[in-house]
Amino acid sequence: GQNIDQPTEMTATEGAIVQINCTYQTSGFNGLFWYQQHAGEAPTFLSYNVLDGLEEKGRFSSFLSRSKGYSYLLLKELQMKDSASYLCAVDRNFNKFYFGSGTKLNVKP
Amino acid sequence: DSGVTQTPKHLITATGQRVTLRCSPRSGDLSVYWYQQSLDQGLQFLIQYYNGEERAKGNILERFSAQQFPDLHSELNLSSLELGDSALYFCASSPTSGTGTHNEQFFGPGTRLTVL
């Protein structure tokens, strides 16, 4: 929706690091969110970026470049429970939220 | 548990019918958002209410309407239902209006609507 692009699926190994990219149209940009969603469950908030740079929160970090319309979510020390879909969402023109289709992450032992 | 409640959890109905989905936000949250999630389209923003008033509108069909009541709970009304309306409907709440502020949303468990 609204040109928010994420890879459809990724696979990584337990204990490794994985980077999930998100690109978006920059018009009306007011902030970018990352959410985690396990199958059949509600999305849960992971991170928020409105300024350029890296936001770190434990094993998860999120980066934003507003001029490039680019963000990534970095997951370190992967655990099996990190297997889920990761949704990139853009707040556009204040309170119109557009979600990408999500990246399904498979963590293997 | 996010603190957001939605009822019913599951709803099965027929084409042409009308249904009402209900959402109670977290205590103290003034904003309520509605989303539709179907397999082929991901999470679609429908509408936002803040303290009883409509604040933002997304891809909401004319057959759909919503409102937020004085006690801040919200209802999403879906009418003239079609097969393609089958989806998971999420409600989310946040403490602020979102304008110019960090607007983390807390999602409810969703209502799964099946239209036969």
Q: What is the DSSP string of chain B?
A: --S-EEE-SEEEE-TT--EEEEEEPPTT--EEEEEEEETTTEEEEEEEEETTEEEEE-S--TTEEEEE-TTS-EEEEE-S--GGG-EEEEEEEESS--TTS----EE---EEEEE-
Q: What is the mean pLDDT of residues A65-85?
A: 96
- List chain B residues with CB under 8 Å of A48: 102, 104
Could you tell me if A38 lies within 8 Å of chain B, comparing CB atoms? no
The CA distance from A33 to the nearest CA of chain B, in Å, is 8
Contact: B44, A99; criterion CB under 8 Å: yes
Kindly report whether the peptide bond that precedes residue B8 is cis, defined as omega within 30 degrees of 0: yes
Average pLDDT in chain B: 91
The CA distance from A38 to the nearest CA of chain B, in Å, is 11
Comparing CA positions, the residue from A35, A19, A22 lying closest to residue A70 is A22
Residue B98: the pLDDT is 58
Query: Which of A51, A95, A96, A99 best tests the B interface by mutation, with the highest count of B CBs <10 A?
Result: A95
Q: What is the mean pLDDT of residues A90-100?
A: 82
With 70 as the cut, is the pLDDT of residue B16 above it?
yes
Residue B102: pLDDT band with limits 50, 70, 90: low
Contact: A1, B44; criterion CB under 8 Å: yes
